[in-house]
Amino acid sequence: MVFLTDHLNIMASMMRVCLILLWIRIVVQPRTLQCKAVQVFPPVNFTLTVSALAQVLLSWKLSPNQEQKNYTIRYDVKILTPVFEEYDTMKTHSFQTAVLHNGFSAHVRTLLFHQGLQMTSDWVTAELQPPPGAENTAVTDLSCVTHFTISSTVSLHCTWLPGKGAPEDTKYFLYYRYETYMEECQDYIKDKWNRNIECRFSATHIVPGEIDELIVIHINGSSKYAAIKPFQQLFNQNAIEKVNVPRNVTVFLEQNDLVATWEKPLSTFPKGCFEYEFYLINLKSGNKQVSKTYSHDFRLRIDVTCRYSIQIRANHYMCAVNGFWSDWSEILYIGENKQENLIVWSLAVLCVSTCCTVTLIAIACKSAF
């Protein structure tokens, strides 16, 4: 009986396997054969064009030999250099923002979709060569800072060092691009060889309050003795903003508590977009304390017999990536060193008493004579 049951179970398992194989043959194999019969051709006329500072236009066309009936066609794009990136698109063009002083390369292929199956073509590649220039002539250590001004514009200040191989007669020229706007610097600061090493824009077309928009900085140069290699760098506008100082800072004592209040920095961001550091020094003991808060007031139990100095600074929080901390606010003082005041008062009393004693002695002596 047991043998018969095992035999029936084996036969049932074999039947299930046969049914699965039959389903694969009936359903899947025709679709596979149908897909294999369709040839997927790579895109044609793949080109790279510099369309703006640090911007490349990738464009291509569908192969004229490609069968399109009943198929969905997309394109798989890979940016190889300077930074790897992969994405797909239905368009036959794409804009990419990237630094180009070391060149740019990418490839693209056709993706064909039909009834849940995907087929791909071979890759086609295009490349932009690095711009000419002698080694070590490009600028180094480029850094930039933006600042939201009282006139509701954004200023820009950049500094750099000349390349180690740059001749003494090198002239550097800085440009910035924000979205579609580009501008050349007109206000430079020079080093002892009269080479530009700083640039200031008191006002720019950078839009305050935008989130994670890129600022393109491009610096090229000229010299009688060498071809100067250009340099580009991309900056997140929020990451290089030096935040303004908190406004209307006030401090007062409430029983044994120090209480500070302030307003958000001058900015287009709402007040919930900032964090603050509170810097407190006990001028009697010399103890220093830095506390962080996300509100616009601060309360702390203190020793009311001591005198304190207070400063506050701000940075982005939540709404944007951290920028540069603001400068500290002006120093405010609160409290009195009562022990020191007692000593001063005691000395004053002692001086008065001494003067009075000396005067009385002098009068007594005069009367005696």
Output the six-digit token pair for 300. Answer: 């702390």
- The better pLDDT of the pair 364, 279 is held by 279
pLDDT of residue 63: 95
Mean pLDDT of the chain: 87
Q: Beta strands of 26-116 (E only): which ranges? A: 44-52, 55-61, 72-81, 85-89, 93-97, 104-114
Least confident of 77-91, 146-160, 251-265, 324-338: 324-338
Q: What pLDDT does 313 receive?
A: 98
Which segment, 67-76, 130-139, 352-361, is predicted with the most confidence on average?
A: 130-139
Q: What is the pLDDT of residue 2?
A: 40
Q: Are 106 and 82 in contact (CB under 8 A)?
A: no
- Residue appearing with tokens 């935008």: 210
pLDDT band at 114 (very low <50, low <70, confident <90, very high): confident
Q: Do the beta carbons of residue 63 and residue 38 sit within 8 Å?
A: no
pLDDT at 69: 82
Q: What is the pLDDT of residues 12-37, one digit of tens each?
A: 566 665 555 555 454 444 343 344 56
The model's pLDDT over 155-199, given as tens digits with 9 standing for 90+, comes to 999 999 999 999 999 999 999 999 999 999 999 999 998 999 999
- And the tokens for 7? 């035999």
Who wins on pLDDT, 231 or 17? 231
**pTM > 0.75: yes or no:** yes
Task: Give 103's pLDDT tier (boundaries 50, 70, 90).
Answer: very high
- What the block records as the tokens of 204 is 């720019």
- pLDDT at position 64 is 93
Mean of the pLDDT values across residues 343-356?
A: 51
Residue 80 has pLDDT above 50, yes or no: yes
Mean pLDDT, rounded, for 346-365: 52
In this predicted model, what pLDDT tens digit does every residue of 284-310 receive, in sequence order? 999 999 999 999 999 999 998 999 999
Report the percentage of the chain scoring pLDDT > 70.
81
Sorted by where each starts, the structural domains of the chain and their CATH numbers stand as 44-128 (2.60.40.10), 140-239 (2.60.40.10), 245-334 (2.60.40.10)
pLDDT of residue 70: 83
Return the pLDDT at 31.
Answer: 41
Q: At residue 363, does pLDDT exceed 80? A: no
Give CA–CA dist 257/278, Å, rounded. Answer: 15
pLDDT for 336 equals 80
Whether the predicted pLDDT of 123 surpasses 90:
yes
Name the DSSP class of 271. G
- Asked if pLDDT for residue 367 goes beyond 60, the answer is no
Determine the Cα–Cα distance for residues 31 and 41; give it in Å rounded to an integer: 20
Q: Are 167 and 193 in contact (CB under 8 A)?
A: no
Write down the pLDDT at residue 26: 46
